[in-house]
A and B are shown apart, each in its own frame.
Chain A
Amino acid sequence: MVPGREEPPVREGSGGEFAAFAIRHQPVLVAIARNVCGRGASDCDDLVQDVLLRALLQWERLKRWPEPARRAWLVRVLHNRFLDQCRRQGAETDRRVDLHNVHMLFEDPEDSPEPEQWECVTEDELRQAVARLNEKLRQAFELHARGLRHAEIARRMNTPSAGTVGTWLFHARRRLKVMLHDTAERRRQERER
């Protein structure tokens, strides 16, 4: 949680657990959705609402999962709903959920047949890997992860162009993927056994 931010009281029990989950993930989902849906679009709010609603409907199952698996599930839902939105905008085929097709919410195509790389990586492991990046890449990546735009990161790091920040972020992501690949593979094989 961001220090200093007021946390609303969370009720005990299953509803409280979901509230805590939603309160933690909703700002991140909104930030990502705003970037990909275009700013000022109501599609962004619809997308996040849709994802959290599906999480609520599946909560009985999700609450037994470990945190990385839940996070990966959430991203899968976000990705699939976002692609649906893209297709809808292109072909004008309306697959919006309404009273006629509300059962679609309970169908779960989001179950992945096998765990993905990022599903096998914990937040602590990512922090360790980020700490191992070189100074510039680490700073740029951390500022980006806190939601800053490239231009703002460039200003804070005294870099003349936002393009340079884009390049740093590109290298940071690639190195993180390489660094965490072995850990993820090992864990995936352990799970399959």
Chain B
Amino acid sequence: MSPACEDLRPFLDGELPEEDQRRIRGHLAGCEACATRFHDLLQLEMLARLALEDAEESARWVSARQARERLPGSWHEDVPENWPGEAALAAQPAPPPEHLEGRAWHQGARRYRRRCPGCASCCPWFAEGEAVEAVRLPRWSCPRAGRSGGAVLRPRPRR
């Protein structure tokens, strides 16, 4: 690897002094590897200059990206092109509740609590009137506590 190889980008940007430019032109004439890299840089340069010459078009892409980033879940790279904007999302009706209201839900919650003793993370009535403590556990049977474990609320042991 020649020292000239390091300077190909500043050379393409026209940022080198005349003396260094001459040195690199001389080097490019004989070095196949550098000529290939330079060709690659040239292709990107040409494409970028053609694509970004229109400032308004480029600004439209940026605002589209920023709009997408405000949406939940948009940290994922593969956001589809036809992803609805915020207005479309707000116009949709609210999603139905995840659980059934009423006695069945309460009984189900109690049953669930029996399966998952000692965890207040998943049962909304657990903490009511009971003394709890937050503990950090390596692994907990409750699926909501996360796979790697985490802080959960459990009844404080009676002494």
Contacts and interface: CB of A to CB of B under 8 A. Distances in A.
Interface string A39-68: 100000000000000000000000000000
A130 B25 CA distance: 30
Contact of B65 (A2, A76, A91, A131): A131
Secondary structure at the A interface, as helix, strand, loop or mixed, is helix
B39 A3 contact: no
B60 to A, nearest CB: 9
Nearest to B14: A35
B2 to A, nearest CB: 15
Nearest to A142: B52
Interface string B44-78: 11111111111111100110110000000000010
A102 interface: no
A166 B15 contact: yes
Assign chain A's interface to a size class: 35 or more
Interface stretch (B4-12, B135-143, B150-158): B4-12
Contacts of B58: 127, 130-131, 142
B134 interface: no
Nearest to B36: A79
Contacts of A117: 40, 43
Interface string A20-49: 000011001001101110110000000000
Query: Nearest 5 A-B pairs (CB), nearest first?
Result: A35-B14, A118-B43, A123-B51, A145-B52, A86-B29
Interface of B: 9-15, 18, 21-22, 25-26, 28-30, 35, 38-58, 61-62, 64-65, 77
Given A32-B12, A75-B39, A126-B51, 20 more contacts: A35-B11, A36-B25, A71-B50, A76-B39, A79-B42, A86-B25, A89-B25, A116-B40, A118-B43, A123-B50, A126-B52, A127-B51, A130-B58, A132-B65, A144-B48, A145-B52, A145-B53, A146-B55, A149-B13, A149-B14
Interface of A: 1-3, 24-25, 28, 31-32, 34-36, 38-39, 71-72, 74-76, 78-79, 83, 85-87, 89-91, 116-119, 121, 123-124, 126-128, 130-132, 138, 141-142, 144-147, 149-150, 162, 166, 169-170, 173, 176-177
